[in-house]
Amino acid sequence: MSIFKETVSIVREAERLVIGTRIKTQWRHAESALDAIVHVPWFILVGLQEKIASFALALALIPAWWAVLFIVLLITSGSPAANLQSSQGWVVAALLAAGSVIFRLPSHFTHLGIRPKQTTQLAAHIRSIASDEATIKLLQSGISVMDAVNSQRITRINWILGVCWAGLVWAASHWVFSTVVSDALKHEAFPRIFGGFLIFLFFGVGASSYETTIRMVKQTIDFALLEASDTRCSE
């Protein structure tokens, strides 16, 4: 098998491990259809699950941070109840919880979604097609080429989303929030612009989830290559 085919097989195996399953078929055109209809939604949902898990963690940290604020105010002022009765205390706690998730320690966020079992299984697949260390190095080079393509694709998607967001903001400011536009025109434009925002939100969440899953696939491959290389060197 060529390096190209072996590289593609590693990426596809990593995708299968990350999304949990993959429907296989012998017909090339049927495989493309399955990828588009079945595997792409599964792929995006994996990233969405990681996003939801991070959001759930932030929600769980809000009462914890509120309790910390309560204790701090109790120690410093002696009357925390009056200061935390308003919604401002919960807003501050929510901001601190969001910061705790965004600025997580590198030892935690650098391996989010990566499963040791998946890297071990992928390392075994790599060892089955790479007979020596030199072949593993070639496969690493092939993976790097594919990573560059993925990075360019994500950059293009983000640019398109940025342009769409700018267009929606411009349309909203000129047709909905403008003081020189008549109320009738505002009422006519609002449903369309609101629908545009919903569509943007759908694709924005999808793009963010897609990028997360790509990161998981990439890191799974990277760690599997290191594990396979370590095994070959120790043999």
Q: What are the pLDDT digits (tens) for 221-235? A: 999 999 988 765 555
What pLDDT does 86 receive? 61
Name which of 51, 64, 58 is nearest 98 in CA terms.
58
More confident residue, 75 or 149: 149
User: Where is 9: in which H helix or E strand?
Assistant: helix 3-19
Closest CA to 71 of 55, 61, 57, 84: 84
Please, what is the average pLDDT of the chain?
Answer: 86
* Residue 79 confidence (pLDDT): 62
* Residue reference for tokens 């990075």: 151
Tell me if 20 sits within 8 A of 42, measured CB to CB.
Answer: yes
The lowest-confidence range among 59-63, 88-92, 156-160 is 88-92
